[in-house]
Amino acid sequence: MDDLLHFRAAGTGLVLDVSGNGLPRVVHWGADLGECGPGGLAGLLAADVAQTVPNALDEPVPLSVLPQQSAGWPGTPGMAGHRAGSAAAPAFAARTRTVDEGRRRLTVTAADHDGGLALTLEIELTGAGLVRLRAEVTNTGADGYHLTELAPALPVPSQATEILDLTGRHLRERAPQRHAFTLGTHLRENRRGRTGSDATLLQIAGTAGFGFRSGEVWGLHVAWSGNHRSLAERTPAGQAVLAGGELLLPGEVLLAPGESYRSPWIYGSYGRHGLDELAGRFHRHLRARATHPTAPRPVTLNTWEAVYFEQDLATLERLARAAAEVGAERFVLDDGWFKGRRDDRAGLGDWYVDPDVWPDGLHPLVDAVRGLGLRFGLWVEPEMVNPDSDLARAHPDWILAASPSRMPPPSRHQQVLALARPDAYAWVLGRLDALLREYRIDYLKWDHNRDLVDAAAHAQTAAVYRLMDELRARHPGLEIESCSSGGGRVDLGVLERTDRVWTSDCLDALERQRIQRWTGLLLPPELLGAHVGAPVSHTTGRTHTLDFRAGTALFGHFGIEWDLTAATPAERARLAEWVALYKELRPLLHGGTVVRGAHPDPALWVHGVVAPDAGRAVFALVQMATSVQAPAGRVRLPGLDPDAAYRLAPLPPGDRPEGPFTSALPWWEEGVTLPGRVLAEVGVQAPTLFPERLVLLEAVRG
């Protein structure tokens, strides 16, 4: 085997040093280097060796994809653990290397004979240009090994001088924060037992001032739904890495002789021209999965903000009829249908249809919904239990706790079921399976409304994955939505077994513009649940126009969460127009390339979706706040074929500027024809909008 492996895909290049008996080392991760020709990279290893400096090791430290303290790496080690205080710094030597050129995949086995450890590393460059890697460690010794860290790393070049990551809270997920990439470690840890509303989807490093359409960026994602950590680290020697993995609590993983632990996949994405390119790689990768939803994403009516816990057959039938009239395609019955559930204080765990509310079960409602041509979905929260429930009273030992004598503090009046217990797991699986067999349910809104406190999360997360996998195996065609207090469980681990995420419990369209914008760094629009709420937001009290609410939801998996029986005929007719537009645009919105313009006015956002062949695009001009200038000036529309001519025109029903025109824009009524290069580099004059309004523009080639 050559000392260098050169993988190329979709504009990304990955060069790996596999010389000697060391672990693989990334020599280059970034722009595609091209064919290079015979021997074109032969000198790269020599050219990559750094000078030695005073008071340093005599030989430069090799920074492998699993940085080793034993090799002299002064930063965070890629693996940590101990065997009763010994074998604390593994020293792995490679034994075998297997290359799958077709899949651009390298598998390396290594061993630390003195430490009694074996290691397998997998490194792959996907067709979308994502680097993904994971590690598996096996205890080959005669006694137990306490594993505390297994976090693969990817190096980033010295040009990456800024860091972007995300934080947030319930109802305000995915808030960006930026700062300099200084010496030391920027560490993001999540100990909530779920991905977390404050989790960073990506740890991103980039050149100074990088944006959506400019600058080089490198980002890392940890595909795990439990405790996890990611870090950006720079040493005084000039080396910088992005690394991540599962956050293991003390004593959580004790490997008996012969046992193994495998890390979650770590994904790395590169963008030569900014964040849109980085995000587009994740989008293309997800869309290429065999499990990615391919059927048109149905317009979904969810009952939660329409009726809350006040459920009865007559009310829900009226709501279903109203939903069908505006064009909805799926009806989801939210929380409140099961035994004893009148509020959030009781009933979780008792997954039986409440006979007091539903004397004939859910059959009358399911039949009514199906009779209207709608599919039927149901809300569940299988990982949780209320202390006030028959299940908790019968099996208090099933509550997840560090000690039987000390219950974790309650949250939302509930505790967590210990699904790693076979008996608790079998109970939940049996009840959900029974519901899916009795009723024609094709969709579960799977909620998770509290953090795991004072409890180990590794076994719990693995059990939840098994539960979802088993249900889908038993019920082919079942779709699952990942909901966790809104957007608290958004990651590529849970998305291996779910069909979309509930992006946030906040339906305020202004907040949703921000939340969807940044969640879109990882997920394409068809995986982002986005609903039209009531005129007055239930979570913020803001009032927004229907066009702003619907135009915001358009750029996701469109749905409705509003008591349509209280809407006026005019409102329902207008909503039906938006539903019709969504259905017409679905192939474009859910198959095209997401773009975000860089307008100089921070109050005016520009975003859109361009068809894969660039033949058509839809853009939204969104007035997020009052501008310091009026008129708005030119807006540039990115992503189009620079050499093609496009007819640009307002797109009904999002064609009403609703702004204080001093005069009409000359091009607004009839549209304008311009080359894609002009639309991207010069732009067109935009209408001046009231705050919290939007308009849609459609560009059609030819």
Question: In this prediction, what percent of the chain has a pLDDT beyond 70?
Answer: 99
Q: How far apart are the first and last CA of the chain?
A: 51
| Residue 661 confidence (pLDDT) | 60
Based on the fold, state whether residues 514 and 601 are members of the same structural domain.
no
Indicate whether 628 belongs to any domain.
yes
**Nearest-angstrom CA–CA distance, 609 and 406:** 52
* DSSP letter assigned to residue 397: G
pLDDT per residue over 128-180, tens digit each?
Answer: 999 999 999 999 999 999 999 999 999 999 999 999 999 999 999 999 999 99
Mean pLDDT of 423-430: 98
What integer best gives the mean pLDDT of the chain? 96
Would you call 32 a catalytic residue per the annotation?
Answer: no
| Residue 49 confidence (pLDDT) | 87
| Residue 660 confidence (pLDDT) | 63
Which CA distances in Å does 189 have to 178, 195, 609? 17, 10, 33
pLDDT exceeds 70 at position 363: yes
| Residue 61 confidence (pLDDT) | 82
Indicate whether 78 belongs to any domain.
yes
H helix intervals, 377-421: 390-394
Asked which of 287, 317, 344 is the last residue of a domain, the reply is: 287
pLDDT exceeds 60 at position 1: no
pLDDT per residue over 308-320, tens digit each?
Answer: 999 999 999 999 9
Based on the fold, state whether residues 175 and 323 are members of the same structural domain.
no
DSSP letters, 14-69, are EEEE--TTSPPEEEEEEE------TTTTTTHHHHTPPPP-TTS-SSPPP--SS--G
| Residue 410 confidence (pLDDT) | 93
**Nearest-angstrom CA–CA distance, 620 and 596:** 10
| Residue 186 confidence (pLDDT) | 98
Q: Could you give the angle at the alpha carbon of 232 between the alpha carbons of 227 and 233, nearest 5°?
A: 120
pLDDT exceeds 70 at position 420: yes
Judged by DSSP in three states, 366 sits in helix
Query: What is the count of structural domains for the chain?
Result: 3
**Nearest-angstrom CA–CA distance, 448 and 456:** 16
pLDDT per residue over 474-525, tens digit each?
Answer: 999 999 999 999 999 999 999 999 999 999 999 999 999 999 999 999 999 9
CB 357 within 8 A of CB 342: no
| Residue 662 confidence (pLDDT) | 64
| Residue 663 confidence (pLDDT) | 76
Based on the fold, state whether residues 283 and 306 are members of the same structural domain.
no
More confident residue, 426 or 48: 426
Indicate whether 346 belongs to any domain.
yes
pLDDT exceeds 60 at position 445: yes
Q: What is the CATH number of the domain that holds 588?
A: 3.20.20.70
pLDDT per residue over 225-270, tens digit each?
Answer: 999 999 999 999 999 999 999 999 999 999 999 999 999 999 999 9
Q: What is the CATH number of the domain that holds 645?
A: 2.60.40.1180
Domain of residue 695 covers: 594-701
DSSP letters, 184-210, are EEEEEEE-SSS--TT--S-EEEESTT-
| Residue 50 confidence (pLDDT) | 87
Neighbour tally for 244: CB within 10 Å: 28
In sequence order, what E strands does 281-374 have? 300-302, 330-333
Based on the fold, state whether residues 611 and 587 are members of the same structural domain.
no
Indicate whether 183 belongs to any domain.
yes
| Residue 38 confidence (pLDDT) | 61
- What the block records as the tokens of 320 is 């279903």
pLDDT per residue over 105-127, tens digit each?
Answer: 999 999 999 999 999 999 999 99
Which CA distances in Å does 307 have to 102, 286, 318, 340, 585? 53, 34, 12, 17, 30
| Residue 403 confidence (pLDDT) | 85
- What the block records as the tokens of 59 is 């030989």
More confident residue, 152 or 599: 152
Which CA distances in Å does 539 have to 171, 510, 533, 568, 625? 8, 12, 10, 22, 19
Based on the fold, state whether residues 239 and 309 are members of the same structural domain.
no
Q: pLDDT confidence of 51, banded at 50, 70, 90?
A: confident
Asked which of 544, 570, 592 is the last residue of a domain, the reply is: 592
Residue of 112, 334, 447, 641 marked catalytic: 447
**Nearest-angstrom CA–CA distance, 609 and 594:** 5
Indicate whether 293 belongs to any domain.
no
Question: In this prediction, what percent of the chain has a pLDDT beyond 90?
Answer: 91
Q: What is the CATH number of the domain that holds 165?
A: 2.70.98.60
Q: Which of 53-67, 209-223, 522-536, 601-615 has the lowest mean pLDDT?
A: 53-67
Residue of 198, 499, 505, 547 marked catalytic: 505
Indicate whether 122 belongs to any domain.
yes
Mean pLDDT of 352-369: 98
Based on the fold, state whether residues 244 and 160 are members of the same structural domain.
yes
Which CA distances in Å does 571 have to 235, 322, 329? 59, 12, 19
What's at 385, amino acid-wise?
V
Based on the fold, state whether residues 470 and 410 are members of the same structural domain.
yes
Mean pLDDT of 429-448: 98
| Residue 456 confidence (pLDDT) | 85
Residues in the chain: 702
| Residue 643 confidence (pLDDT) | 98
**Is the overall model pTM greater than 0.75, yes or no?**
yes
Q: Which of 44-58, 81-95, 313-327, 328-342 has the lowest mean pLDDT?
A: 44-58
Indicate whether 294 belongs to any domain.
no
Mean pLDDT of 407-416: 95
Q: pLDDT confidence of 401, banded at 50, 70, 90?
A: very high
Based on the fold, state whether residues 540 and 615 are members of the same structural domain.
no
Asked which of 243, 264, 287 is the last residue of a domain, the reply is: 287
Q: pLDDT confidence of 21, banded at 50, 70, 90?
A: very high
Based on the fold, state whether residues 138 and 209 are members of the same structural domain.
yes
Strands 443-446 and 479-482: parallel
From 30, 33, 6, 34, select the one nearest 215 (Cα to Cα). 30
Based on the fold, state whether residues 543 and 563 are members of the same structural domain.
yes
| Residue 659 confidence (pLDDT) | 65
Specify which residues 346 forms β-bridges with. none
H helix intervals, 419-457: 422-438
Based on the fold, state whether residues 497 and 604 are members of the same structural domain.
no
Judged by DSSP in three states, 603 sits in coil
Would you call 505 a catalytic residue per the annotation?
Answer: yes
| Residue 322 confidence (pLDDT) | 98
Indicate whether 59 belongs to any domain.
yes
Based on the fold, state whether residues 582 and 609 are members of the same structural domain.
no
